[in-house]
Structure 1
């Protein structure tokens, strides 16, 4: 890990505190403070990513720890975008908590190295490909949490239908970015698992367009789809075919 990487905890604490202030302000309907605090936290966190990029002399996207940095950044970004569009107060709290989880994992297991990119990853499409995917994963992660909540904790079927509409909006935007990410990846690499994930969420979208589709089935589809998404993100690291120099694994070493 680089010397600058040892300073991650300071950037992380500052960012999470600002995001927490933004989440609290959203619940209190203080939108100006919610926007200002969340954006300030994003600026602090991105300054770490940008400095790491310069320090490593490559995009910090090579290892699982590095992709978790982007996921931690995009969760609050997705939260503030969705909050500004649909005023979902809970989403900023969710994005802050989930981002904190990934930040804690990185503090315990950074997996950030000075290792150079393999030739296959030295494509101008590599950085936008990963960045777009991480943003899509953040939105689809929010949809998964909503589905799990509605399926296991919410007993109000009328409210569930309305909140599932919220989940649909998250899936639509997430799927759009997933499509863009898959296209940028297909320009320089095979996208087998990504294509399977893309088709799974497309199936969900088509199911929801049916007027007689059951809510419970839709929620289970989202849970299964999110499991498939995890396979696309990091599960392939453990497949026998991914051992060695696969371009679609975020190396642990």
Structure 2
């Protein structure tokens, strides 16, 4: 199936690109077509994952390229759900943009695909551990871009006021609420991923936790979002800019956990090197 990836990728990218344009059309019928095109592109990626699973005779979750395809699928799906909930068109387009970026990265930097699955990966915890983590990454990625938008909202009225332009931004409470909901869901899945990983480690290596580099950074990123949750709960009446800044820092830590840890000197000693 991997030989068809280029057709799948560029068909989905084309659908997302046209959808991104039509979603801003004034005609309601064109908006509907845009949403359907976005959904179709996402379903195509989902169908490819299913076909790849059947072709490889194993879950396509072993390499970074395979996890990027899952991330693409989840971003497309989350974009649809968030759009349906909040009617923010830019969120739909952001999801499509991130999905496109990850598809292109996978296209230009593919991994070797084979049916081999080392014994440690032949566990009942393999699939739930990786899938819930990738879904969490997608949710928290969306939360991060909304946080960036919140910082933009905070500064834009001030610039407009100086210019003498009347500007009514979206209610800051709405942006904070969206970020909260995305983080709460993403953090729940991040926690499940951490627990599933510990159970998997116990089964595969006899210990729940060994302070492996990947485990360490997973715990650090988990703590980053925990800091946000506690800060948000304790300082509800303070400006949301600090909340948004914590979210951005936590997401950077998350990206180090996902990608950056592979470039650390200690990565060569990691039991997670099979996922690179």
Structure 1 residue aligned with 2:64: 64
Unaligned runs of 5+ in 2: 159-168, 202-208, 210-214
Say which SS state the counterpart of residue 137 (structure 1) adopts.
helix
Q: CA separation in 2, counterparts of 1:245 and 1:146?
A: 34
Structure 1 residue aligned with 2:36: 36
Aligned match for 1:230, one of 255, 261, 271: 255
Say which SS state the counterpart of residue 156 (structure 2) adopts.
coil
Summarize the alignment of residues 1-253 of structure 1 with structure 2, pairs less than 5 Å apart.
4-28=1-25, 32-114=32-114, 116-151=116-151, 154-156=155-157, 159=170, 161-162=172-173, 163-189=175-201, 190=209, 191-209=215-233, 210-243=235-268, 246-247=271-272, 250-251=275-276
Say which SS state the counterpart of residue 155 (structure 1) adopts.
helix
CA gap 1:178/1:27 in 2 versus in 1, 3 angstroms: farther
Say which SS state the counterpart of residue 116 (structure 1) adopts.
coil
CA gap 1:88/1:152 in 2 versus in 1, 3 angstroms: closer
Q: CA separation in 2, counterparts of 1:245 and 1:188?
A: 15
Q: Could you say what the CA RMSD is over the residues aligned between the two structures, in angstroms? A: 2.4
Say which SS state the counterpart of residue 61 (structure 1) adopts.
coil
My pick for the range that moved more, 49-58 or 183-192, is: 183-192
CA gap 1:32/1:100 in 2 versus in 1, 3 angstroms: same
CA gap 1:32/1:38 in 2 versus in 1, 3 angstroms: same
Say whether the 8 Å CA contact 2:72–2:100 is kept in structure 1: yes
Deviation at 1:10, TM superposition (A): 0.8
CA displacement, residues 7-31 of structure 1 (integer Å, 9 cap, x when unaligned): 2111112222333444445444556
Higher relative contact order, structure no. (Cα contacts within 8 Å, ≥ 6 residues apart): 1
CA displacement, residues 50-108 of structure 1 (integer Å, 9 cap, x when unaligned): 22222222211211111111111111111111122222221110011111111111111
Normalising by structure 2, we get a TM-score of 0.80
Deviation at 1:195, TM superposition (A): 2.5
Aligned length: 248
Say which SS state the counterpart of residue 156 (structure 1) adopts.
helix
Q: CA separation in 2, counterparts of 1:16 and 1:219?
A: 30
Say whether the 8 Å CA contact 1:66–1:112 is kept in structure 2: no
Say which SS state the counterpart of residue 60 (structure 1) adopts.
coil
Deviation at 1:231, TM superposition (A): 1.4
Greater C-alpha Rg: 2
Say whether the 8 Å CA contact 1:207–1:213 is kept in structure 2: no
Say whether the 8 Å CA contact 1:204–1:218 is kept in structure 2: yes
